Amino acid sequence: MKAHLTVFTLSAILIVSIGMAPAFGQIQNSIVVTTDKSSYSEGETILVTGEVRDLYSGTPVSVIVKAPNGNLVSIAQVTVGVDKKFSTEITAGGALMKAEGSYTITVQYGTENRSAEATFEFGGSTMTPPSTGGSGVTDKTVAIEGSTDLIGYTITGGKLLSIMPDVEANSLIVSIDATSDGSLTLTIPRSVLDATMNGEDDDFFVLIDGEEVDFEETTSATNRVLTIAFPAGAEEIEIIGTFVVPEFGTIAAMILAVAIISIIAVSAKSRLSIMPRY
């Protein structure tokens, strides 16, 4: 009788322990992340929000998005507020988010142990690649929208088609036609693209068709020179930094602001000059 009672007691304890495990795990989660919707169409805004359990001053949250095949789509550093919450927005679609399927958002806070994941469905991209006509590409340089400084380049094993800034990702998107294994050397003015942290040079993050690759770099006060090896068939190289030349709209807004201030100043001076003197 005692043996049966002991077995029953142990079984009850085991069942209760198993039933409590999920709740215990939820309490121990150091970070949570969600999206505002479960699926998105091209051009829609993906709102990513989350909350951390413990606040580490000065430590941002890393938000990493990967495609269904595991390729990296985007990576961003997001500030955590004093309320322990964070949020960021991602535009569905683009150069690296083309395939239809389930995308994974991984959020990491300081260490790999403090991480969480969320997924969303993307309906696929229907955009056609932009025309390379009038892209400002010559045999040695490339003109970049929003900048008067040129990027110098040399390429073997293929042809450079265009270089476009992606302001949201702080990156340059380099389109190439790789007929064989080769390499691309870019002399990038710091005014066009740079990567710094606390006033010191930081490493760029380079992707070829969504996969991270190694590269060689030399720097000067005005330029950063990258040499990137690519395989035959490669189509796109993305170079991610911390700053990319602003879009024309930003420059136009700055020019407009200066113009308005100048008009106000001139108007004020004119009113003063026509006032009668006694």
Instruction: State the pLDDT at residue 147.
Output: 81
List, as one string, the DSSP characters of 212-262: E---EEEE-SSEEEEEEEE-TT--EEEEE-SEEPPPHHHHHHHHHHHHHHH
Half-sphere exposure for 97 (CA within 13 Å, toward CB): 27
Instruction: State the pLDDT at residue 253.
Output: 46
Tokens of 120: 């969303």
User: 91 phi and psi, to 5 degrees?
Assistant: -90, 125
The CA distance from 181 to 39, in Å, is 38
**Per-residue pLDDT at 36 exceeds 50:** yes
Taken in order of first residue, the domains within the chain and their CATH numbers are: 31-122 (2.60.40.1930), 141-248 (2.60.40)
Instruction: State the pLDDT at residue 267.
Output: 56
pLDDT tens-digit readout, 201-216: 999 999 999 999 999 9
Instruction: State the pLDDT at residue 193.
Output: 93
The CA distance from 221 to 61, in Å, is 31
pLDDT tens-digit readout, 242-263: 988 864 444 444 445 555 565 5
For residue 260, the one-letter residue type is I
Mean pLDDT, residues 50-54: 92
pLDDT tens-digit readout, 53-106: 999 888 899 999 999 988 888 888 899 999 999 999 999 987 778 889 999 999
Instruction: State the pLDDT at residue 114.
Output: 87
CB atoms within 10 A of CB 9: 10
**Per-residue pLDDT at 218 exceeds 50:** yes
**Per-residue pLDDT at 6 exceeds 80:** no
Q: Which residues, other chains included, contact 9 with Cβ-Cβ below 8 Å and sequence gap of 6+?
A: none
**Per-residue pLDDT at 15 exceeds 80:** no
Render the burial of 67-97: b for 16+ CB within 10 Å, e for the rest: beeeebbbbbebebeeeeebbbebebbbbbb
DSSP β-bridge partners for residue 185: 154, 227
Residue 22 — very low, low, confident or very high, per pLDDT cuts 50/70/90?
very low
Full-model pTM: 0.48
- Please report where in the chains the tokens 């150091």 appear, as a residue: 30
Alpha-carbon dihedral of residues 188, 192, 195, 197, nearest 10 degrees? 140
pLDDT tens-digit readout, 148-177: 889 999 999 999 999 988 888 889 999 999
223: left (phi over 0), alpha (psi -120 to 50) or beta: beta
Q: Which residues, other chains included, contact 144 with Cβ-Cβ below 8 Å and sequence gap of 6+?
A: 136, 150, 151, 163, 164, 165, 172, 192, 245
**Per-residue pLDDT at 26 exceeds 80:** no
